[in-house]
Amino acid sequence: MTSTAQRLAEIRGDVPPRRHNARTIAALTGNPGCARRAVLDSAGVDKPKLAERVGFPARFGQSRFAITRGNTFEAQVKADGGAELLRLVAERLGVDPGGPATWTDLGADDRPGQSGQSGQPDRSARSRAALAAAAPTGAGEQAALFDHPLLGLDVAGQRVHLEPDLVAARLAGRFHVVEVKSFPVIDGQADPGKVAAAAIQSAVYVLALRELLAAEGHDPELVSSDVLLVCPRDFANQPVASLVDVRKQLLVLRRQLDRMARIDDLLAGVPAGFTADPAADPADLRRSLLSVPARYAPDCLAACELAYFCRHATRAETATLGRPVREALGGVATVAEALALAGGEHSGQPEQAEAAALLRAAARLRADALAGRPA
Amino acid sequence: MSTLRALAKAQALAAGVAQPVATVRHLHLSPRPLVLVPLAMAGEANAPLAALVGTAPGDARLLIVPQPRNRDQRFAFAAELAGIVLPYLDSFRGVSEAVAVDRGRDVRYRYVDAPQLLLPNPGGLAFLRLFGRSTRFRRPDGEYPVHPSVPLLGRWLTFFAERAEHPGSSALLAMTEALTLHWATGQSAVEDLHLPAVLGWLDPPPGLDGARAAARAEDPAVCPPAGPATDPEFDNKVLAPAIAAYTDAADDETARRSAYAELELALRGQLAPTWELMWRGVGLLAALPPGARVEGRWAGDRDAFTSHAEHVDAGGGPQPRRDGAVAAAVRLHRLERAGTSYAVQRAYDDPLVMAEHRLTGEAFVADVTLADPRRVDDTGKRPVLRPRIQVVTTEPVAVPVGATLYSTARPGQKAKVVFLTPAADGKTEVVLELSGGMGRGLTAPPGTVPEVGERLSLTTLSDAFLPAGAFPDPAETPWTHGGPPAAATFDQALGPADPPGAGAGAGAGAGVGAGVGVGAGVASTPVVGPSDGDPAEDWA
C-alpha cells in the first residue's frame, strides 16, 4: 500500500472505500473548487453516514414509485431483443439499421444479484472482450446492442466499476451510448435539470467506453460523443429518442478526474490528524471536517450529502445567500462585515473602499425609503 | 440581484427575520382567490395524486386519485377539478364595463372582476401548465372520450399558465414568489422555493428565529413539502401501502371504502399544512397597501380573461403545442414590453424600489431651487411653452446633458437636462427644461410646473406607452424562420371541433371562424401530431 493509499484509508476509517457509480462521479463535477468534498470523495468516505453522525443527515431519499416506473419503462424499451430500441436509435441517427441487430446481455449471468461483487472481475473481462471484439470496422456491419456492460474507470487512483443500465449500440461504424430515462419529453422539451444530469452521467460512460477501446488498441473516437436519451414521449409510455452532445461534459469530467488523480497535492493541504471516519466521536468529526476548507454554495444542497453541515458552518458568510448576493454585496465575505461597512462603522480595507461606499449608499437609501423619507 | 436587495438579505440573516423590500403591494389580491395545492405522483409524467382547492380558508375541498397510474381515474380527477374551477371562473362573468378604444371611436367590454389562482411555488405552476397540456387536446367523443369539461379545463389552465409568464400579471401567482417580491429572507433563492421555509423567515413561530424556523421547515417529517413533489419517505412508508390496500380491496366494497378513507386521511395530512401556509401568505400580502399602478395592471388581466372567455365561447380551439415563428415573436415582444413597463411601474409606485435605481444612478432626488414657469421658446415656427427649473441634489448624477428625465409626481412630463453644474459640498445643480403635461396654452396651469422648495424624484425610467412592434402575417413568415406554416397543419390547428358550449351543428363552422378571427395567436401551429388525441396512454 502506498503512503497515499495509507493516508486515504486513515481518513476513511476501518471500512472499504465506498464505491463510486456514474451518478456519484457525475456529482463530482458539481463544485470542483471544494477541497473538503474532493478529499472525502477521493478517500471513498461514506458521506451519508458521516453526515448523519455530525448531526446533519442528507435528504436524498428516492420514492419507490419513481424506481418502479423507471424499471418498468426500461424493461418495456428493451423488450423483444431491443428491436424497438434499435429502430428508435437508428431513426434518430438517420441511419439504416440494416436488418435486425444482435443483442448481447453482458450482465445476464449475474442478474439479479445487483451487488454481485464476486462476479465483477468476470463480467468486467467479458464486457471488455465482447466490446473490443465488436469494435466498429466500417459502416456496413450488422448493428449490435450490448446491454448491461460492466465498465471501469480510474477515479482517484481507484478502479471503479460502473454498472450502467445503458446499452452500447454499434451502428453505422460507431458505438453510441444509449441511456434509458423515465422522465418525460413533452412537446420536444424535458426538464433541463434532469437532461443535464443524464448528460453528465452518459459522459461518464462515454469516457469509460473510450478508455476500454483505447486500452485494446482501438481508436477511442469510435465512441460517439453524441449520446442517445430514450425517454417517454408526452404523457404516454411510448419511447422517444433524443440526441445529446456531451463533448462539454467530457471536458469537465476529465478535468475533475485529473485533479483527483493528483490527490497528493490535495492531501498536502490537509492537516495531519484529519479524520472522516464515521466511527469517530461526532464532536471530533465536526472539528476535523472544519479544518479542511469547503466552498459551500446553495447548489450543494441538491448534490452533496454534506451540504447541510457545510451550510450550517458557513451561516455567517454571504456565500450562503448565493453567489449573486455575495457579488451584489461587493464580494464582502461575511454578513457581519458587510453590515459593518454598510453602517459606516469602519471603512474596511483599502481594497474594499468601493464596496464600502456602495454599501453605505445602499444602507442610507434603504433606511430613508423605509422611514418614508424621499431623501 | 440589486445591492439593495442583497443588503436586505444580509440584514434578514443578521436579524433572524425577513426584511421588507417593498413598501407597497405590487400585485393584485383578489378578495376571493382560488387557492390550489396540488400533489403529483413521483416518477410519473405529471400524474395528479391529490389537491386541496377552495376560495376560503375553511372551504378546502380534497380531491384524490386513489390509483394515479389509472388513466380513467386521472381524467375523473380532471373532471372533478373542472367542476370546481369552471364554476369559479363563470362567477366572474356577470358584470362588464365599457372601455373606450381607438381614441374613443369604438368601445369594447371587459368583466369588472377576474379570477385569481394561487399556488404554493413555481413547481406548482409547472405542474398546472403540464396538466393543462395533458387535458386540453382531449375529446369528449371518439375512442377515448373524456368528460366535456376536461378539455375546457385544460384550455383555461393553459391560459392561466401563459398569463403567469406575463410580467406584472396577477392572474396566477406562486406564493413563494409573491412573498419574496415583498420581503427578503436570510436564505438563498434556491431555499426560497420552499414555502414553509419562506414563511418561517417571515413569521417565525414563538421562540424560534427565522433560520431555525426555516431549518425546521426543511424536515419533511415535521413539515410536509409544499408539493407538487411528495416526500419520498411518505411515498414509501405511507402512500405505497395505502394505494396497495386500495388496489387489493378490488370489489370488496367495505374494504375499498376504508382504504379510500385511509388514503384521504394520509393525503390530507400532507396537504393541510401547506393550505394553512397559503392563507397565512395571503394575510401577509393583504396587510400591505396596494401600489398605485396595480389596478391598471389588473385591468390587463381582466382584459385577457374577457378575451379568452370570448374565444372559448366562440368555440375557439385549444392553444397550440408550440407557437409558430410569428406567434412566438409576437409573444416574446409582448412579454418584453410588459417586463419593461412592470419594472418602471414598480419603481414609480414604491420609493424602496426606486432606491434601487437611485443606487445605480438611474434616478436621484433633488430640491427645486429656481423655477421659471412662464418661459416660452420662440425659436421655432411657433412659440411653445418650455418652463425651466433648477434643482440641487446631493446624490451622484450619472445622466448626461441632453438626457430626458421624468418625475414620479408628474409622469406625463418630460424634463430635458440642459446644464449640469457641480456645486459646493459635492452637490450638483441641474437645469431642466420641461415639456408636456401643461395643457396646450402658453401659460402653465397651477401645479403643473414644480415650485421652488418642492422635492422631486427624477429618473430616466419612463412610464410612457411603448408602441407595439410590427410583425408579418403568419402566412408571410420569412424563410429565415421556416417559412409559412404548412397548409395541412394550418387546417388542423383551426378545426379542433370541440365546443361543449356551442350547438352541435354550428360547432365546426364556428371553430374555424373563430380561429381565423383571433389570427396570429392560434393560426400557426407547426406540428400537430396525428397521435395525440390518442391515447395509447396505458399507464401501469
d(CA B343, CA B466): 13
Please name the member of A324, A338, A365 whose beta carbon is closest to the beta carbon of B355.
A365
Is residue A118 located within the same domain as residue A186? yes
Residue B364, SS3? Answer: strand
More confident residue, A220 or A373: A220
Residue to substitute from B134, B188, B233, B238, interface A, most A β-carbons within 10 A: B188
Strand partners, A161: A152
Instruction: End-to-end CA distance of chain B: give it in Å, rounded.
Output: 45
Mean pLDDT of B171-196: 95
Per-residue pLDDT tens for A78-129?
A: 888 788 888 888 888 888 777 777 778 777 655 444 444 445 667 777 788 8
Give the Å distances, CA to CA, from B454 to A331, A374, B357.
38, 11, 21
- Cβ within 8 Å of residue A271, ≥6 positions away: A291, A292
Residue B390 has pLDDT above 80, yes or no: yes
Q: How confident is the model at residue A153 (pLDDT cuts 50, 70, 90)?
A: confident
Query: Which H or E run contains B36?
Result: strand B34-40
Distances (CA, A) of B258 to B41, B237, B247, B254, B270: 21, 18, 12, 6, 19
Q: How high does pLDDT run on average in chain A?
A: 83
Range with the poorest average pLDDT among B187-191, B228-232, B524-528: B524-528
How large is the average pLDDT for residues B403-409?
91
Does position B62 have pLDDT exceeding 90, yes or no? yes
Chain length of chain B: 540
In this structure, the answer to whether residues A168 and A23 fall within a common structural domain is no
- Strand A239-245 to A226-232 pairing: antiparallel
Length of chain A: 375
Contact status, residue B43 vs residue A72, Cβ threshold 8 Å? no
3-state secondary structure B503-523: CCCCHHHHHHHHHHHHCHHHH
Residue A302 in any domain: the answer is yes
User: Above 90 in pLDDT, residue B227?
Assistant: no
Longest dimension (CA), chain B: 95
Q: Using one digit for the tens of pLDDT, what is the confidence trace for A314-355?
A: 888 998 999 999 999 988 989 999 999 998 888 778 888 888
Q: How confident is the model at residue A219 (pLDDT cuts 50, 70, 90)?
A: confident
Q: Within a domain: residue A318?
A: no
- Residue B1 has its nearest CB partner, among A187, A328, A372, at A328
Residue A2: pLDDT band (50, 70, 90) is: low
Q: Write down which residue in A291, A313, A335 finishes a domain.
A: A313
Average pLDDT for residues A35-39, to the nearest whole number?
86
Spatial separation of the C-alpha atoms in residues A242 and B287, rounded to whole Å: 49
Gap between the Cα atoms of A191 and A32, Å rounded:
24
Closest by CA position to B297, among listed B247, B368, B349: B349
Note whether B235 contacts A63, CB cutoff 8 Å.
yes
Alpha-carbon distance of A88 to A103, in angstroms, equals 15
Q: Which residues of B touch A236 (CB under 8 A)?
A: 534-538
Tell me whether residue A207 is in a domain: yes
**Contact yes or no for B232 and A62 at CB 8 A:** yes
Q: Mean pLDDT throughout A195-201?
A: 90
What pLDDT is stored for residue A58 in this prediction?
83
Read off the pLDDT of residues B321-340 as tens digits, 9 standing for 90 and up: 888 888 899 999 999 999 99
**B528-531 own/partner pairs: CB under 8 Å, 24+ apart:** B528/B320, B528/B321, B528/B489, B528/B492, B528/B493
Domain match, A224 and A358 both: no
pLDDT at B474: 84
The answer to whether A325 contacts B20, with C-beta atoms less than 8 Å apart, is no
Mutation choice for B interface testing from A186, A326, A365 by most B CBs within 10 A: A365
Can you say how many angstroms the Cα of residue B325 is from the centroid of all Cα atoms in its chain? 24
Report the distance separating Cα B262 and Cα B239, nearest Å: 10
The pLDDT, as a whole number, for residue B530 is 35
Q: Tell me the per-residue pLDDT of A228-255, one tens digit each, with 9 for 90 and over.
A: 999 999 888 889 999 999 999 999 888 8
Q: List CB contacts (< 8 A) between B14 and chain A.
A: 335-336, 339
Residues of A in contact with B530 (CB under 8 A): none
Is residue B540 over pLDDT 60? no
Search chain B and give the residue with CA nearest A329: B3
- pLDDT surpassing 60 at residue B422: yes
Phi/psi at B512 (nearest 5 deg)?
-65, -45
The counts of H helices and E strands in chain B are: 16, 17
Residues A85 and A201 placed together within one structural domain of the fold: yes
B382 phi and psi, to 5 degrees?
-135, 150
Per-residue pLDDT tens digits for A57-75: 888 888 899 988 888 898 8
Looking at A255, A275, A299, the residue that finishes a domain is A255
- Rounded to an integer, what distance in angstroms lies between the CA atom of residue B227 and that of residue B239? 15
Determine which of A59, A60, A62, A63 to mutate to test the interface with B (most B C-beta atoms within 10 Å).
A63
Give A180→chain B minimum CA distance, Å: 14
Q: Across chain A, how many H-helices and E-strands are there?
A: 15, 8
- If asked whether residues A232 and A344 sit together in one domain, one would say no
Residues A89 and A213 placed together within one structural domain of the fold: yes
Distance CA B323, CA B332 (A): 11
C-alpha A45/C-alpha A141 separation (Å) is 45
Q: Is residue A342 part of a domain?
A: yes
d(CA B474, CA A343): 57
| Pick from B337, B325, B316: nearest CA to B158 | B316
* Domain carrying residue A340: 323-371
Same-domain status, A226 and A210: yes
Interface test with A, best of B2, B5, B9 (most A CBs within 10 A): B9
Q: Could you identify the residue written with the cell 495531519?
A: A272
ipTM of the prediction: 0.87
| Cβ-defined contact of A369 to B23 (cutoff 8 Å) | yes
Question: Could you count the other beta carbons within 10 Å of the beta carbon of residue B436?
Answer: 14
Residues B340-371: pLDDT tens digits?
999 999 999 999 999 999 998 889 999 999 99
pLDDT over 80 at A259, yes or no = no
One domain, residues A224 and A93: yes
A332 and A195 co-located in one domain? no
**Do A147 and A86 form a contact (C-beta atoms < 8 A)?**
no
State whether residue B351 is helix, strand or coil.
helix
Residue A94 shares a structural domain with residue A216: yes
Among all residues of chain A, which has the CA nearest to that of B221? A59
Closest-CA residue of B relative to A66 is B43
Residue A182 lies in a domain: yes
CB B153 within 8 A of CB B63: no
User: Given a cut of 70, is residue B208 above it in pLDDT?
Assistant: yes
Q: Is residue A181 part of a domain?
A: yes
Q: Looking at the domain assignment, is residue A187 inside a domain?
A: yes
Question: Residue B273 — pLDDT band, cuts 50, 70, 90?
Answer: very high
On chain A, the residues whose CB falls within 8 A of the CB of B394 are: 375
Of A321, A358, A365, nearest to B13 by CB-CB distance is A321
- Among A224, A255, A286, the domain-final residue is A255
Which grid coordinates are listed for B78? 380532471
Contact residues on chain A for B538, CB-CB shorter than 8 A: 236-237
Question: Domain count of chain A?
Answer: 3
- Helix extents (H) in B314-416: 325-349, 351-359
Q: Give the whole-angstrom CA distance, residue A82 versus residue A72.
A: 15
Contact A174, A93 (CB under 8 A): no
Could you tell me which of A227, A165, A234 has the C-alpha nearest to residue A200?
A: A227
Distance CA A334, CA A313 (A): 12
- Quickly tell me which residue has 381524467 as its cell: B75
Distance CA A203, CA A164 (A): 12
Chain centre distance of CA A259: 15
Query: For the ranges B275-279, B421-425, B438-442, B510-514, which has the lowest average pLDDT?
Result: B510-514
Q: Mean pLDDT lowest for which of B77-81, B477-481, B524-528?
A: B524-528
CB atoms under 10 Å from CB of B377, counted, come to 13
Q: Mean pLDDT across the stretch A246-266?
A: 84
pLDDT at A232: 92
**Using an 8 Å Cβ cutoff, are B403 and B418 in contact?**
no
3-state secondary structure of B498: coil
CA distance A236 to chain B (A): 4
Distance CA A201, CA A23 (A): 6
| CB within 8 Å of chain A, chain B residues 307-326 | 321-322
Q: Are residues A68 and A24 in the same domain?
A: no
Give domain status of residue A119, yes or no: yes
- Using a CB-CB cut-off of 8 Å, the residues of chain B touching A372 are 23, 351
Grid cell of B454 as nine digits: 418642492
Residues B436, B414: Cα–Cα separation, whole Å: 6
Q: What is the DSSP letter of B236?
A: I
Same domain, yes or no: A223 and A264: no
Residue A217: what pLDDT?
A: 85
